[in-house]
Structures are given as structure tokens and as C-alpha cells.
Amino acid sequence: DSIEKGGYEHFMLKEIFEQPRSIHDSMRGRLIAANNHLIMGGFREYENKFINAKRIIIVACGTSWHAGLVAEYLIEDLARIPVEVEYASEFRYRNPVITEGDIVIAISQSGETADTLAAIELAKSKGATIFGICNVVGSSIARASDAGAYTHAGPEIGVASTKAFTAQVTVLTLLAMIIGSKRGTIEDSKLRQLMIELENIPAKVEKALELNEKIVEISEEFKDAPNCLYLGRGYNFPVALEGALKLKEISYIHAEGYPAAEMKHGPIALIDENMPVIVIATRDSSYEKIVSNIQEVKARKGRIIAIVTEGDQVIPAMAEYVIEVPETSEFLTPLVSVIPLQLLSYHIAVMRGCNVDQPRNLAKSVTVE
């Protein structure tokens, strides 16, 4: 057991630290920026379907659903195809409108989640094309799909998903770039720049992992909190949801992820001097807006932990704790900004004495409906 954990105390920590490698592996053979090489084997056969798709529906559960939300932003931004992201369990039971031109992307680490499998069977019966993104080779969802792309995260043992999430986002980013380039919705120069930046992500994740010690200190401070609020906008909104999910899954602290601007329609009522508020506020197109959201939290004495871009001069003056992550393209932000949130939930859970690799009531793969 200790050999399998490679010297780490838990599988989850090992898997968090494997991410520079698993992200790299998920783009290997698919992206070489210097050669202008961007391909995805499973995509080729269905290229025309993707180019002409009127809409894409993404179905998934849990953390994979959060990767799907990131993909909605990516595909709409880069490929200009309308995207809907559905919880597989809702989609399959609500008589959805599905037509033959639709493409359904199913995202699943295990490839065995019963609701996701049933959702794609339903979509298939209505004539949609199914593109599967799975981590486990030969899994049920991979086999039930018309085409797809594997993430190459390697086996994920910790119940709380970490490296599978970043691998999914990596593959979905490549997919959005490929569809966009085929549809002519991304300028060549922008595409090239993104290719280079995506290749640099493993090194940036490596750098973000150096925050570990600092996050141990912050975890010490907040480990006894009964509640926690996670806020983000744009590409960091799904990251806020994922950060909150990680914390509740393994530390049993009640946590909510929210779009920062929606805070004023409810969660703001919860904020007082005891409420930790984790704001993911990297420098992107919604930066100014999220700075004002931080002011709103501060005015109500919330305890602010801010994830910012390296060198930020404004937010550190407003937040109690600041975590600086390397700068990257806005489109790729989730791959970097999620890292400190994984570490934060891990350390808090360990300090609370929780079984991080096998949290109570949860299963790695939910094969029942």
C-alpha cells in the first residue's frame, strides 16, 4: 500500500502531485505547438458532424459535470456552437429534446456511472452522436460511445477526483480548439498562442504545487469552520463549484460554490466575521467585477482567502490570505486555479482526522441509479 502511494500519505495527495504529468499525458500525441500539430484521433471520423453541429449537449455527474461546465465556456468561446451541460440523472428522466444533428459529449472518469450511461443510451436511441471522454479504457461508456478521446490520467484511487478533472479539462480544451480551428471560429494567431500556452500548463501546475506549504498554514486557520463559501466568475465559476465539492466530500464541512455576482441574491445573507469566503479572482476579463464582489464580502466582515494571479497588487490589500498562481490564458485558468483548492480541501480533511481516500457514504464509481 505504501509503495503504491509512492511515499505520499494518501492516494489523493499523490494524485494531486501527479497532475503535471497526467495533464501532459492527456495531450501527448495530440498537441505539438512547434509543429502546428493539433489532432485528436477519435474526432476525425466525426469531424463533419462537429463542424455542422447545431448544438452540443454535455452529460456527466459530479466532478466530471464540473469539467463539462468548463467545456461549455470553452466550446462556446472558441467554436461558437451552443452548449448545454446536463446532470445525466436529470437529462435521462425529463424527456429531453434530442435530434439527429445533436452531439452528446459524455464525460466520465470511470466510464461506469449508471446515470451517465443511461443518458447516452437515451440520446443514442434518438439518433444523436455520442462522443465519450473517459479515463478507464474499455469501460462501459467508452464502449457505448460512437467516438471519443481518452484522458490519460492513469488510475485514480482517491474517491475525490483530482487528476481526472484536470485531464478532462485538458482534453476538452483540445477538443474546443480543434472544433474552433475546423470551423474557422478562432484566428490562427490566437490558436497558436493557445497551443503554446497549453503546452506550458504542466510547468505552471508544477509551480502551483509549490504553494503546498502555504496552504497547510491556511488550512490550520480554517479547519474548524462549519461552513465555507467559494466564489468565482467566468472560467472560475466551475472551479468554485469544484472547490466546494472537494471540501464537502472529504472534510464534511458544508461548502457552497456560487457565481460571485449571484452572491447578492442569497448567500450574502450568510456572510459575517465567521464565514470563510474563498474567492477565485485571477486576472481575466471579469477581474474588475470580482474585485467589487470582494469588497462586498469585506464590508460584511467575511474572511477572505483569495486565489489571484502572481503579482496582483490590488486584492492582497483586501484579503486576509492570498494564494498566488502563475498567469495563463483565461481559457486555461481552471487548470491552474483548481490546484490550490484541491490542496486546501486535502489538508483540512487530514487535520480533521477524516479518511480522505475513502470518505464516508461516497463511492469512486456510482453504478446504481
Report, as residue numbers or ranges, the catalytic residues.
364
Q: How far is the CB of 16 from ligand G6P (least distance, A)?
A: 14
Residue nearest to ligand G6P (CB): 62
Site for ligand G6P contains 61 (CB under 6 A): yes
Q: How far is the CB of 64 from ligand G6P (least distance, A)?
A: 4
Which C-beta is closer to ligand G6P: that of 5 or that of 364? 364
Site for ligand G6P contains 364 (CB under 6 A): yes
User: Quick one: three-class SS letters along the chain?
Assistant: CCCCCCCCCCHHHHHHHCHHHHHHHHHCCCEEHHHCEECCHHHHCCHHHHHHCCCEEEEECHHHHHHHHHHHHHHHHHHCCCEEEEEHHHHHHCCCCCCCCCEEEEEECCCCCHHHHHHHHHHHHCCCEEEEEECCCCCHHHHHCCEEEECCCCCCCCCCCCHHHHHHHHHHHHHHHHHHHHHCCCCHHHHHHHHHHHHCHHHHHHHHHCCHHHHHHHHHHHCCCCEEEEEECCCHHHHHHHHHHHHHHHHCCEEEEEEHHHHHHCHHHHCCCCCEEEEECCCCCCHHHHHHHHHHHHHCCCEEEEEEECCCCCHHHCCCEEEEECCCCHHHHHHHHHHHHHHHHHHHHHHCCCCCCCCCCCCCCCCCC
Q: How far is the CB of 276 from ligand G6P (least distance, A)?
A: 23
Q: What is the C-alpha to C-alpha distance for residues 122 and 83, in angstroms, rounded to an integer?
A: 18
Site for ligand G6P contains 140 (CB under 6 A): no
Which of 63, 151, 170, 286 is close enough to bind ligand G6P by CB under 6 A? 63
Which C-beta is closer to ligand G6P: that of 183 or that of 364? 364
Which of 19, 161, 170, 309 is close enough to bind ligand G6P by CB under 6 A? 161
Which C-beta is closer to ligand G6P: that of 299 or that of 362? 362
Q: What is the C-alpha to C-alpha distance for residues 229 and 278, in angstroms, rounded to an integer?
A: 6
Site for ligand G6P contains 251 (CB under 6 A): no
Sketch the per residue contact string, 289 through 328, with ligand G6P: x for CB under 6 A, - otherwise. ----------------------------------------
Q: How far is the CB of 315 from ligand G6P (least distance, A)?
A: 30
Sketch the per residue contact string, 253 through 282, with ligand G6P: x for CB under 6 A, - otherwise. ------------------------------
Which C-beta is closer to ligand G6P: that of 88 or that of 179? 88
Which C-beta is closer to ligand G6P: that of 94 or that of 360? 360
Which C-beta is closer to ligand G6P: that of 109 or that of 333? 109
Which C-beta is closer to ligand G6P: that of 168 or that of 181? 168
Return the closest-CA partner of residue 151 out of 177, 169, 178, 139: 169
Half-sphere exposure of 260 (CA within 13 A, CB side): 27
Identify residues 20-59 at the interface with ligand G6P (CB under 6 A): none
Q: How far is the CB of 82 from ligand G6P (least distance, A)?
A: 24
Q: How far is the CB of 314 from ligand G6P (least distance, A)?
A: 35
Site for ligand G6P contains 109 (CB under 6 A): yes
Sign of CA dihedral 188, 150, 12, 85: positive
Which of 31, 159, 307, 332 is close enough to bind ligand G6P by CB under 6 A? 159
Binding region for ligand G6P (CB under 6 A): 61-64, 108-110, 113, 116, 159-161, 362, 364-366
